[in-house]
Chains A and B, each alone.
Chain A
Amino acid sequence: MATTARRPARRTLDRLWRHALLLAMTAFAVFPILFVVSAALNPLGTLSSSQLLPAQAGPDNFERLLTGTGYPRWYINSLLLAVCNAAATVLLSALAAYAFSRFRFAGRRAGLYGLLIIQMFPQFLAIVAIYLMFSAVTDLRPEIGFDTHWGLLLVYLGGALSINTWLMKGFFDTVPAELDEAARVDGASHAQLFFRILLPLVAPVLAIVGLLVFISTVNEFIMASVFLRDGDSKTVALGLYAMVADQRDANFGMFAAGTLLLAAPVLAVFWYLQRHIAEGLTSGAVKG
């Protein structure tokens, strides 16, 4: 029939627009990164000598960065903070999203709107308040005060219930309530329902939120600069920023090298989580 004859042509057309769009967007996405790679590999290591494609390449910038600065230490600090924050935020916001998605209780609407509104406040102008608060905490319990990662983590976790909760709630809502009812009939408690049925089903969104939090923690700059004044507790963002604030042109190669090294674990995490994201567990559950 006519449709069968048209199908291959339509498929080709379909492929064509997909590839054209993806190629154009990939070029846009990648070209500034080529510049960074080039600058990191350029042994001259200055801003004015940088090009899109390096004329010569060498690991000099990486060597100077890893041996001559506190970079390895900052790097470990950043990764630890980001992993802890991502794990805790995913747990906290999933718990809250479950409550908002599955239960009807007084203050539910107000709570959902409250979450959206409270985070619209310009966070960094509330820094004075947070600073004063942690000045008091530092006096009482220096273990979680300034120059500790615990204190910073607590402040980050203050924002755990935010847009992440909304995002997760949206996904929780797409898991059919029949699954809950079936499990309830089987005698499951609400905690079992949450941990053993719902969480595995929404694994894709957990992975996405975890990744987002991981990335934003690695990038976070303002709060960290208030909290971590000590050289040993600094994160990569603070260390690198200080590096170009001091001598922008001369340190440019090291700065680019540090940027690349910082991007590497994020990519690794993304690569690892990609599988979970792609599995599409939720749509599988609807079939069952």
Chain B
Amino acid sequence: MATEKTPPPLPGGGLAPRGSLAGHLVKAVLLALSAGVAAWAAWPLYETRNWAGLGLVAAVTGVVWWVYLSKRRVPAKYLLPGVLLLIAFQVVPVVYTVAASATNHGDGHRGTKEEAIARIEASSVTRTADGREFTLTIAAEGGSPSGELVFLLTDEDGAVYAGDAEGLTPLPGARTGPTGRVLGADGYTPLTAAQANGRGAEVAELAVPAGDGAGIRAQGLSAAYEGRAARAYDAGCDCITDSATGAVYTADDEHGVFATEDGERLSQGWRVGVGADNYARLAADPGIASAFFSILGWNTVFAAGTTLGVFVLGLAVALALHTPDRLRGGTLYRLLLVLPYAMPAFAMMLLWRDMFNADFGLVNRLLGTDVDWLGGAGTARAVALTVNIWLGFPYMFLICTGALQAIPRELVQAARLDGAGAWQAFRQVTLPLLMVAVAPVLIATFAFNFNNFNAIWLTTKGGPFPSDSPTAGYTDLLITYTYRLAFGGQGAEYGYAAAVSVLIFLIVTLISFTGLRKSASLEEVNR
């Protein structure tokens, strides 16, 4: 009955039963395309004999065909493309991070024990009389001079190898000049003398394992030599002996290091599982534990305050513009109000920081005050919140505008006719309907701001810092605090950082889930 009254502009005319020919053609082309992509992805995997990778490609392609060739499994057809990407680039990294949180992964503990041994041996290489010599070209992996450092080595017979910390690989197609220098090779970018000089420290550090305790090191920027390792691994005692000093470093498989009896460790270790050690450290370290809860408190205030602030302001503005008849200047308001959101956020955060600068900041100059905004705990927190609300409220304004438009005006009009006041109609009709669409967004806004690294790092850097605790600032979020602890000090500690990430994740999930449970959207999901 309703269809007969459908006005002409309503879409959907000319529906073909059982799908149109064009539709079937598109489907066939897309399926062929997926096979093509699979073949394209499979070829280098086949070349490198990566059977696990090949199996994965085959399995994914199989699932794609199985889903789309079937007459059933309709929901899967709509979910599959997004879900595949989600698994590959969100779920897998998260799972990896959770796994890494139980290891000592980080600087000095990156690879396997074999790789650590190879590196220790190679970096202790000293020149011997009979060692091979090479013409050296310093290059970077990939198309950019900032890629990972590689030695392109030309031996006396003119054969070219690429050498990195993992070892030597022959490089047949390289073009060499008269001196043996490599001029070009696929997949590598030779560095100019200036570029190589700029990475001199890396060049001096790089030692290419050449097997049997031999290693290749650079001598200057254009020559390399092969020599013997002073430190050699002995599988019998599972230890490394330094032939120069006589020191014996025994493998400690629990911590992934080689250490002498009096506790001296070699800097190169390997990755091992450490179980819950990273988490225990978080609970046991008194400095970390005491700072943790005060930061958690402010972190929650920051995320909740931002969410509430942007929602109230965004909704207020959306409501003010949501009139049955046009508001004078409505279009201009709309354009101006969305400006903060159109500005690049990272740039505006830096700009706000300058505006609150105590010495020559715009705010002090305009107000005629002399406040050290970022120097006081209270004002710095207020600044962080203000900036973040300024950046975020237009987003909520857009969301609320959209949600308001989806609510049939008749419902509100009916409530008004029944005698409800404007406020009552809003509270009892508009708001509940609005929350259905907006509640998940609010929860996501909260979760996003709970971990809003940029908002703090680019405005206050976590400061100001209390005099007794130089690592935990008054505006620090857990994530900026973690970042400083894990990456700021003596080098990367991914395992530890991952453990804190997992903890933050659990906290946010818990808080958000409680919020979600209370929100009306739960009924939607259960419907």
Contacts and interface: CB of A to CB of B under 8 A. Distances in A.
A13 B342 CA distance: 32
Contacts of A48: 360
B75 A22 contact: no
A215 B341 contact: yes
Nearest to B422: A14
A120 B450 CA distance: 9
B274 interface: no
A231 B447 CA distance: 33
B501 A126 contact: yes
Interface string B327-351: 1110101111111111111111011
A32 interface: yes
Contacts of A173: 436, 524
Given A161-B86, A183-B12, A125 B501 contact: yes
Contacts of A240: 344, 347
Nearest to A124: B453
B395 A129 contact: no
B437 interface: yes
Nearest to A18: B320
Given A119-B447, A167-B399, A288-B5, A125 B340 contact: no
Interface in A108-144: 108-109, 111-113, 115-126, 128-130, 132-133, 138, 140-142
B316 interface: yes
B433 to A, nearest CB: 8
B441 interface: yes
Nearest to A115: B86
Given A129-B100, A161-B86, A205-B402, A170 B23 contact: no
Nearest to A237: B346
B82 A93 contact: yes
A116 B434 CA distance: 19
A208 B90 CA distance: 23
Interface stretch (B41-49, B116-124, B424-432): B41-49
Given A116-B512, A142-B142, A221-B454, A105 B399 contact: no
Given A15-B327, A129-B93, A271-B335, A192 B399 contact: no
A255 B347 CA distance: 8
Interface core residue of A121, A189, A285 (most chain B CB under 10 Å): A121
B25 to A, nearest CB: 12
A204 interface: yes
Given A93-B82, A116-B444, A237-B346, A192 B409 contact: no
A120 B347 contact: no
Contacts of B142: 138, 142, 145-147
A5 interface: no
A155 B504 contact: no
Given A128-B97, A229-B147, A32 B351 contact: yes
A147 B141 CA distance: 11
A9 interface: no
A267 interface: yes
B444 A160 contact: no
B139 to A, nearest CB: 15
B89 interface: yes
B90 A158 contact: yes
Interface of A: 15, 17-19, 21-22, 25-26, 28-30, 32-33, 35-36, 47-48, 50-52, 92-93, 95-96, 98-99, 103, 105, 108-109, 111-113, 115-126, 128-130, 132-133, 138, 140-142, 145-147, 154-155, 157-163, 165-167, 170-171, 173-174, 178, 182-183, 186-192, 194, 196-197, 200-201, 204-205, 208, 211-212, 215, 218-219, 221-222, 229-231, 236-237, 240-241, 244, 255-256, 258-259, 262-263, 266-267, 270-271, 274, 277-278, 280, 282-286, 288
28 contacts: A21-B320, A22-B320, A22-B337, A32-B390, A35-B351, A47-B354, A96-B79, A103-B78, A116-B440, A116-B447, A117-B513, A118-B91, A120-B505, A125-B498, A126-B94, A126-B96, A129-B93, A130-B93, A140-B45, A157-B89, A192-B15, A205-B402, A212-B398, A229-B146, A263-B342, A267-B335, A271-B335, A278-B405
Q: Which 8 A-B pairs have the closest CB atoms?
A: A158-B89, A187-B17, A170-B437, A99-B78, A129-B93, A129-B96, A230-B144, A125-B501
